[in-house]
Structure 1
Amino acid sequence: MRFRNASVRSKVTALIVSLALLWAFAAWVTLREGINMLWAATINSSVVEPSEPLLVELQRERRLTVASLGSRLRPTGAALRQQRARTDAAHAAFASSISGTAVRFGADDLLEERVAAVESRLTGLKAIRKAIDTGVTQPSQATAPYNAVIDDFYRMYDSVAAFDDKEIAKDGRTLAEMHHSREFLAREDAIMAGVFARDGFTEQEHADFVAATGVFRQTLSEAMSKLPDVDKPHYDAWAKSPAATRLRSMEERLIRHRVGADVLPVSGEDWRKTTEATLADLHTVTVSAGDRLLERITPVAVGVIVRLVLAGGLGLLAVIASIVLSITTTRQLLAQLKKLRDAAHELSDERLPGVVERIGRGEVVDVSREVPDLDFGDDEIGQVGQAFNTVQRTAIGVAAEQAELRRGIRDILLSLARRTQGLVHRQLTVLDVMERQETDPEELKQLFRLDHLAIRMRRNAENLIVLSGSSPARTWRRSVPMVDVVRGALAEVEDYTRVTLMPMGEVVLVGRAVGDVIHLLAELIENAVSFSPPYTNVRVSGQLVANGYVIEIEDQGLGMKPEDLEAANERIADPPEFRISGTARLGLYVVSQLADRHDVKVVLKHSPYGGTTVVVLLPQELVEVDAGPDPADTDATPRLPRRSPTSATAASATATAARPATERPVAQRPVNEGNVRALKVAGPSRPPQQPEPDLPQPIEKGAATEPQPEAPSVFTPGGLPLRVPQANLAAALRDEGPPTTPDLEDDDDERSPEEIRAMMGSLQSGTRLGRTEAARLMEEQSGGDT
C-alpha cells in the first residue's frame, strides 16, 4: 500500500534498483561458475597434484615397512631409508604447496579442515617410524598408521570443489572412486609383501588379504559401471590385459590357500611384477580418463566465460542504458507533471477563487479568457490535461452557480434584515409614543418589556445584515461615553439583570464604531449569560491600557474545552467565509466580522472562576479620554433598557448593567424607602421640564424620522446618580450665576409639537393620578381615625 502511494521518482528508482539487483544476481550466478572453475583449478594444482606423488611414496613406504618387519630384518635398511627420504621430500613439496594464499582463499571450511587433518597425520609419521624402528609396532599393526594417513588423503579429495555441471561432476567422482580402488590393490600388495617375507600367512593376514581383495574388486566394479561411454573401452582393455588377468588368478589361488600350508601357491617375484604392472596400468588408464575429462571441461569453461561476458558486460551495458533512459524519461515525465500541477494549483488557488469572487460580486466574467485550457500535447499527460480542462470548466460553472446562489441568499438576507430593521425602528417609535402616553404602571411595565424585546429583535436583524456582508444602519456622529456604550449593549441582552457593570473610566468611543462595538459586546455578553448558571453573575469591566482600551467579560459557567477555546479564537481571529451550512455558532461569526471591521482584538481564555473570560481590545484610534459631558451632544447615548415602575425597589446604589443612563426625577436623589414610596405614588408622571427618560436614538439609515435632541445623562459613568450642587437649597440661598443643570426649557424651541403635546399630556396625567392617590390616602386616613 505504501509503494502504491509513493511518488513517480521513487517508483522509477525502485525499478532501476531492482533491475540492477537482477543483473547482479545473474552476473553472480555466472561468475560463481567461473569462480568455482578457478578455485577448482587452483585446488587441483595446489592440493591434488602435489598430493599424488606423496600418496604413491606413502604406499611404497608402507610396503617396504611391512616387508622389513616380516623378514625379521632391521627396518632401518638402506632401501627403507631411501624410501623414507623420498616420502619426506614429497611431503615437503606438498606442505609448501598447501601453505599458499590461493589455497586459503579457494578452499572452503571443510576442505581446510581435511587438509589440516592430512598435514597432522603426515607430521605424525616420525612417531610412527620410531615405533616401528624400536619394535613397539608389531608386523600385523604396521599397515594401520599408513592406512589412516592415506584415508585422510582420499577424504581430502572428496572435499575438493566440484563443477556446477552435473555430468562433469559425476564423471569426476567416478574417476576419484577408480583412483580409490587402486589404493585397495596397493593394500593387498603391502599385506603380501609381509607374507612373502615370512613365507606364509597368518590367520589375521589371510583375513586382511581376503577383505582387501573383496573391497578392491567391489569398488572397481562399481566405478567401472559408472564410467562414461568414452572411458569404458579403455578400462575394459585394462581389465582384459595379461597383468590384470594374472592378478585375478593369483588372488583366487591365494584366497583358496589354507593357512599353515608349507608352500604358497604364488611366488613373491611373480606377485611383485604382476601387481606393479597392474597398478601402473590402472594409474595410466585413470590419468587418461582425467585428461579426457579435462577436454570435456574446456567447452564448459568457455561457456562459463561467454555467459560471464554476456551477463556481466552486455548485461551491465543494458542496465546502464536502462538507467539513463529511465532517468531522462522520468525527468521529462516529472517536468510535465510539475507543469500540470503548477497550472492546477494556479487555477485552484488564484484564478478560480478570483473568478468566483468576481461572479459573486455580479461582474460579467469571460471564463475562456480568465481560465484558459491547459495544453500538454496528445500523449497520456496531455490527455490528463484535457480531462482536467473538462473538470475545470465544470468546476467553474458549478462555482459560478454557487456564487450566484450565495449572492442571492445574501441579497435576500440583506433585504429581509433591512425590512425587519425598518419595522423594528417604527415599532420602537410607536412604543416610545405609547410609553409617554401611558399612565398605568402595569401597562407601562409591559410596554417596557416590549421595548426591550424590540431592541433584541433589532440586534437579530443586524446579525442578518452582518451575515450578508453589509454594515448595520445605526451610526453616531459624535463620541459616546464608554459606560453608555456598554449599557447600550446590555439593552440588547435578555437577562441583563445578571450583569454587573464595573467602573469603566472617563473614556469615550468614537461615533463611527459605536454601533458595531455595541453589537459586538451584546453578542459576547449574551453568550456569557446564556452559558452560565442562572444564579451567577457576569462581570463587565474596562480600563485604559497601553494599546487602547480593554473590556473584559467574565462569566462563572462551566467554561470551554481547550480545543474548543482554541477553535473559537482562531475563528474570531481569521473569520471564514459565511456559508449556509455550519451555522451552529453564528454569534462567533458576527463577532469576527465586527471585530475585523474596526481592527478590534477579541480573545477567549479560561477564567479563574472556572468559566470563560472574553478580552476585547479596542485600538487607540477608537477611544478618547472624556473631557466632560457636552450638553449639545444630543446623539451621544445609545438606547438603554427600560425600567418599569414596579421594579424601582430593586434599584440600589450598586451599578448593575440593568440600570439605565437616566431615571425618573426621584432617582436623582439617593434611593431610600421614602423615595421608593414616593415613586410608587407618583407613578409614571413626568414633570414638564424633564424629557423622556429614553436617550436619543442613533441615526437610522433610510429611516423616516430624524434624531430627537434630549437631555444629557444625569448619572456618573459608574451608574450612580449625578450630584447637582445646590439642587436642594432654597431659592434665596442659591448663588447667583449660570444654572448648574441644563436649561431644558431653552430646548423647547427644538422640540416638535408632538413631543411637547406628549410631555404636557404626561404632566396632566401624572397630576391627576397624584391628586387621585392623595385623595384616596386622605380618605383612608380619615376612615381610620373614625
Structure 2
Amino acid sequence: MAHDVRRGTIRARLTGILAVPLVGVLVLLGDLAVKEVREYQAANAVTGAAEVGQAAAGLVHELQRERGLSTGVLGGAGADFRTDLDAARTQVDRQRAEFTQLLGDSAEEVASAQTALGQLDDLVAIRAQVDTGRADPAAVFQYFGDRITALNHTDIGLDEPVPDPDPTLRRTLAAFQALSDAKEAMAIERGLLLGAVSGGRFDQDTFSQYVAAHAAKHVAMTDFSRYATASQRAEVESVLKSPEAAEVNRYEQVALVAADGRRLDLSRQMWWSWTSTVIDELRTAQQTIGRSVHHHTDELREEATWDLLGLIPLMILSIIGAGALVFVATRSVARPLAVLAAEADDIAFRRLPAAVAQAQQGAPDGSPSTAARPAAVSIAGRPTREITSVAEAINHVQYTAFTLASEQARLRQNTVDSLANLGRRTQNLLRRQLTFISQLEREEGDPAALANLFELDHLATRLRRNAESLLVLVGETTPRRWSTPLPVADVIRAAISEVEDYRRVSLRRVDDGFIGGGYVTDIAHLLAELIENALTFSPPDLEVEIHGRPLGQDYLIAIVDHGIGMSPENLARANARLRGEERFTVAPTRFLGHYVVGDLSRALSVEVQLVQSPVTGITARVVLPRAVLTTPAAVVEGETAGELPPLAPVEVPMALTDQPERPEPIRTRNGLAKRPPRARSGAPSRPPSTGRPPSVGGPVDHKPAEVRAMLTSLRDGVQRGQSFPTTGTTWYPGGEDHEWRKGDV
C-alpha cells in the first residue's frame, strides 16, 4: 500500500507541487504588484499634473497684468502704460510657449488645459485692436477674463492623485486654488478701478463688477484660511499687512462709496503700482504652495517606487520557487512522458510499419506471412499508473493495428490470387474461343457469315485485352509473348485491333523503328488502352490520329484526339495515375485504364504523359526508352519483322470482283449480318482439296496466332473483293488478331 501511495497519480503530484507557488504568485502578483504599479503610475501623473497647474498659474499671472494694462491704455492712459504693456505681452508669450511645450509632453488627463490654451489663438487680433484703439474696453476685459477663468479652473486630475486620496495633498491643492481665485479677484479690481479712474468715475455696470470682484476676493481668502497650513497663512497675511496692501485697502474704500458716480480723484500710477506689488507677492506665496504640492507628489512617487522595488525581490523569489517546482515536476512527470512519446514515435514510424510491411509482403512461397508482433512499449524506472496505462493503451493500439494489417494483407493476397486465377481462366477460355472461331472461319464460305465471325473474333480479342488488364492490375504477367522484333507500325496496328471503334483510328506518319519481341505484347496493350481512351472522349465523327518518330535514342508515339479536353487539375491527376503514383483500389472504375497504363509504363520504364492538343483535345505522348527498342540483325528487304514463314496452299473461298453487286446484308438485333439463302446454281463450289505439300526444309508447324493471321488475310481478301476496287489501294497488316485495314500513310 505504501508503494502505491508513493507512486500516486499525475494529478495528485501536480496539485501538491504547484498549489503553493501558484496561490502565492496569484495573490502577491495579483494584489500587491497591481496595486503598487497603479500607485506608482498615479504618483507620476500627480507630479506631472502639479507641474501643469503651476505653469497655468504663471500664465494666468501674466495675462492678468496684460489685461489690466490693456484696460488702462483703452481708458486713456496710453502714454503712462505703453512700455509696461509691451513688456507684459512679452512675458505672456514666453509663459504661453513654455506652457504649450509642457502640455505636449503631458498625459491625456490635461486635455482641458489644452482646450483652455487653445482659446488664446486669437490673442494677436485682440492686441491689434487695443493698439489701434478700436477695441471696446469692456469686451477686451471680458476676453481676458474668460481665458483666465478657464485656465484657473482647468481639471488636471489633482483631486484624485492616487487610488487612496491623500488628505494633505487635497487640502494643499484646495488652498492653492483658493489663493488663485483671490488673486484673480484682486486683478479684476485693479483693472476695473484703473479704467474708472482714467474715465473719472464709475458707471453702474463697472461698479457692480467691481463690488462683485471685491466680495469674491474676501470669499476666496476665507477659503484659503480654511485649507492652508499655518506657514502658508502666515506668508499670505504678511502680504496683506504690507504698506502697499494698506494703500490698496484705502483706495478700495474710496471706490466702494463712489456708486453715485462721484469723481474719483485717485492716482492711476499709484493704484497700478500698489495693486501690482500685492498681486506679485500673492503670486510668490502661490509659487511657495505650488512647490509644496510638487514636493508632496515627489514623496508619493518615491514611496510608490520603493514599494514597487520591495515587491520585485518577492516576485523573483516566487519565480525561482515556481521554477524549482516545475523542474521537479519535469523530472517526475515529463521525463516518463518523453520516453513514452519516443516509444510511440518509434512504433509509429519504424516498428509497426516494418511489421505491417512484412505481413503484407507474405512468405517467399506466396503464402500468408506469419510475421512476429512488434515489441511492446517499455518504460524504464518506476512510472506512474497513468504512464503505465498509456503505455498499455499504445500496445493495444499497435497490436490491433498489426492484427488488422495482417488480416488485410491476407484478404488482399486472397483477392489478388482470386483475380489472377479469374484472369488466367478467362484468358484460357478466350484462347479456346478464338481457336474455335478461327476453325469456323476456315470452314465458312459465305462472306456475310464470315464477316459476322470476324466481328466475334474482334470482340473476343477485346475481351482478351480486358483479361490481360486484370492480370496487369494484380501484378501478374500475361503468357502471351512475341518472340521476334516487330516494327513500331505493326505494334501500333496490333494495338488498334484491340479497340472497339478501330475504324476511326488513323495512322499518320510513323517512322521506322523496331521493338524487342519481349516488349511487344505489353506495349501494344499500353497503346490500346490509350487509344481506347482517346476514342471514348472524342466525337464519333472525328478520327484519332497516331504519329511516330524517333526522339534521340528513344521513340515517340503521339496519340491525338480532338475531343473536349481536360481541365489542368484533371490533367495533373491523370498524369499521376499514368506515372503509376496511385493504386487502382482507390479510384473510380472508369479510370482503371489509366492504372493499367501506369503499371505497364512503370514496369517498362516508358514515359507516358497527357498534354493539351494545340487546337482542341488531348495528346498522349508515349516515349519508348532505348531499352525496349532494337535493331534486328538482318531484315530481308520487303519483309516485316516477325513475318510468318511461308504457308502451304489452303482451300479458301474466293470473292471475285467481277460478280454482280450483292445486296446489303440484313442484320440481326445485335448487329450481326444474317446469312442469306444460298442459290444452288450460283453457289461457289469448293475445289477439291489437294492436300498440303511439304514446304522447303520439311513440314512447318504453324502456331495458332500465325493461323489467325492467315485467316485474317483471307477475310480481308473476301471483303476487299466485295466492296473495293482492285487497283489504287494500299493495305497494311493490322497485326495479330486484327483485320487488314486501309492505310492512311
Residue 369 of structure 1, aligned match among 345, 358, 374: 374
Structure 2: unaligned runs, 5 residues or longer = 1-31, 266-270, 364-368, 646-651, 659-681, 715-719, 721-745
Q: State whether structure 2 residue 706 is matched by structure 1 residue 696.
A: no
TM-score by length of 2: 0.59
The CA deviation at 1:403 is 3.1
Distance (whole Å) between structure 2 residues aligned to residue 89 and residue 440 of structure 1: 136
- In the other structure, the counterpart of 1:432 is 438
Query: Counterpart of 1:369 in 2: which secondary structure?
Result: coil
The CA deviation at 1:469 is 1.1
The CA deviation at 1:636 is 6.3
The CA deviation at 1:498 is 3.6
What is the CA deviation profile of residues 223-261 of structure 1, one whole-angstrom value per residue up to 9, with x for unaligned ones? 85698667699989x99xx9999x999989985777378
Query: Counterpart of 1:579 in 2: which secondary structure?
Result: helix
Distance (whole Å) between structure 1 residues aligned to residue 638 and residue 290 of structure 2: 133
Query: Counterpart of 2:425 in 1: which secondary structure?
Result: helix
| Conserved 8 A contact 1:43-1:160 | no
Give the aligned residue type for 2:181: H
What is the CA deviation profile of residues 69-95 of structure 1, one whole-angstrom value per residue up to 9, with x for unaligned ones? 99xxx997xxx99xx999979998996
The CA deviation at 1:337 is 11
What is the CA deviation profile of residues 469-516 of structure 1, one whole-angstrom value per residue up to 9, with x for unaligned ones? 111111233333444433433332333344344675664422211221
Residue 493 of structure 1, aligned match among 490, 499, 505: 499
- In the other structure, the counterpart of 1:738 is none
The CA deviation at 1:628 is 2.3
The CA deviation at 1:431 is 3.2
Give the aligned residue type for 1:523: E
| Conserved 8 A contact 1:184-1:213 | no
Give the aligned residue type for 1:531: F
- In the other structure, the counterpart of 2:456 is 450
Q: State whether structure 2 residue 222 is matched by structure 1 residue 221.
A: no
- In the other structure, the counterpart of 1:659 is none
Query: Counterpart of 1:584 in 2: which secondary structure?
Result: helix
Distance (whole Å) between structure 2 residues aligned to residue 94 and residue 542 of structure 1: 97
Query: Counterpart of 2:557 in 1: which secondary structure?
Result: strand
Give the aligned residue type for 1:625: T
Identical aligned residues as a percent: 25
| Conserved 8 A contact 1:178-1:219 | no
What is the CA deviation profile of residues 352-382 of structure 1, one whole-angstrom value per residue up to 9, with x for unaligned ones? 5554443222244656537968999879999
- In the other structure, the counterpart of 2:611 is 605
- In the other structure, the counterpart of 1:594 is 600
Write the mapping of 1:42-191 to structure 2, written as runs, cut at 5 A. Answer: 42=51, 48=57, 156-158=151-153, 163=158, 164-165=160-161, 168=169, 172=173, 175-185=176-186
- In the other structure, the counterpart of 2:727 is none
Cα gap change, 1:211/1:443 in structure 2, threshold over 3 Å: closer, same or farther? closer
The CA deviation at 1:417 is 0.7
- In the other structure, the counterpart of 1:583 is 589
Query: Counterpart of 1:475 in 2: which secondary structure?
Result: coil
Cα gap change, 1:635/1:155 in structure 2, threshold over 3 Å: closer, same or farther? closer
Give the aligned residue type for 1:569: N
- In the other structure, the counterpart of 1:18 is none
Cα gap change, 1:578/1:28 in structure 2, threshold over 3 Å: closer, same or farther? same
Cα gap change, 1:594/1:629 in structure 2, threshold over 3 Å: closer, same or farther? farther
Q: State whether structure 2 residue 629 is matched by structure 1 residue 623.
A: yes
Cα gap change, 1:714/1:443 in structure 2, threshold over 3 Å: closer, same or farther? closer
Distance (whole Å) between structure 1 residues aligned to residue 207 and residue 635 of structure 2: 143
The CA RMSD over aligned residues, in Å, is 7.0
Distance (whole Å) between structure 2 residues aligned to residue 99 and residue 629 of structure 1: 114
Give the aligned residue type for 2:588: G
| Conserved 8 A contact 2:174-2:227 | no
Structure 1: unaligned runs, 5 residues or longer = 1-22, 265-270, 639-643, 651-678, 699-706, 716-720, 722-786
Q: State whether structure 2 residue 509 is matched by structure 1 residue 511.
A: no
| Conserved 8 A contact 2:485-2:516 | yes
- In the other structure, the counterpart of 1:521 is 527
| Conserved 8 A contact 1:213-1:251 | no
Q: State whether structure 2 residue 594 is matched by structure 1 residue 572.
A: no
Residue 480 of structure 1, aligned match among 486, 497, 516: 486
Query: Counterpart of 1:585 in 2: which secondary structure?
Result: helix
Q: State whether structure 2 residue 547 is matched by structure 1 residue 547.
A: no
| Conserved 8 A contact 1:575-1:589 | no
Distance (whole Å) between structure 1 residues aligned to residue 121 and residue 54 of structure 2: 17
Aligned length: 623
The CA deviation at 1:456 is 2.1
Tell me whether 316-325 or 507-516 shows the greater mean CA deviation. Answer: 316-325
The CA deviation at 1:713 is 11
Give the aligned residue type for 1:492: E
Give the aligned residue type for 2:431: H
Give the aligned residue type for 2:420: L
- In the other structure, the counterpart of 1:423 is 429
Distance (whole Å) between structure 1 residues aligned to residue 347 and residue 375 of structure 2: 10
| Conserved 8 A contact 1:634-1:696 | no
| Conserved 8 A contact 2:489-2:510 | yes
Give the aligned residue type for 2:360: G
The CA deviation at 1:307 is 6.1
Give the aligned residue type for 2:413: R
Q: State whether structure 2 residue 358 is matched by structure 1 residue 358.
A: yes
Distance (whole Å) between structure 1 residues aligned to residue 490 and residue 195 of structure 2: 140
Query: Counterpart of 2:590 in 1: which secondary structure?
Result: coil
Cα gap change, 1:157/1:497 in structure 2, threshold over 3 Å: closer, same or farther? closer
What is the CA deviation profile of residues 327-359 of structure 1, one whole-angstrom value per residue up to 9, with x for unaligned ones? 999x99999999999988876676655544432
Distance (whole Å) between structure 1 residues aligned to residue 537 and residue 657 of structure 2: 28
Distance (whole Å) between structure 1 residues aligned to residue 192 and residue 578 of structure 2: 112
What is the CA deviation profile of residues 396-450 of structure 1, one whole-angstrom value per residue up to 9, with x for unaligned ones? 4444333333222211110111111122222233333444444555554444333
Cα gap change, 1:31/1:58 in structure 2, threshold over 3 Å: closer, same or farther? same
Distance (whole Å) between structure 1 residues aligned to residue 44 and residue 96 of structure 2: 20
Distance (whole Å) between structure 1 residues aligned to residue 539 and residue 118 of structure 2: 96
Distance (whole Å) between structure 2 residues aligned to residue 169 and residue 280 of structure 1: 25
- In the other structure, the counterpart of 2:717 is none
| Conserved 8 A contact 1:185-1:213 | no
| Conserved 8 A contact 1:39-1:161 | no
Query: Counterpart of 2:499 in 1: which secondary structure?
Result: coil
- In the other structure, the counterpart of 2:260 is 259
Give the aligned residue type for 1:369: P
Cα gap change, 1:520/1:194 in structure 2, threshold over 3 Å: closer, same or farther? closer
Query: Counterpart of 1:576 in 2: which secondary structure?
Result: coil
Write the mapping of 1:274-285 to structure 2, written as runs, cut at 5 A. Answer: none
Distance (whole Å) between structure 2 residues aligned to residue 465 and residue 614 of structure 1: 23
Distance (whole Å) between structure 2 residues aligned to residue 393 and residue 545 of structure 1: 53
Distance (whole Å) between structure 1 residues aligned to residue 336 and residue 612 of structure 2: 52
| Conserved 8 A contact 1:441-1:683 | no
Distance (whole Å) between structure 1 residues aligned to residue 520 and residue 441 of structure 2: 26
Distance (whole Å) between structure 2 residues aligned to residue 208 and residue 219 of structure 1: 17
Residue 410 of structure 2, aligned match among 388, 404, 414: 404
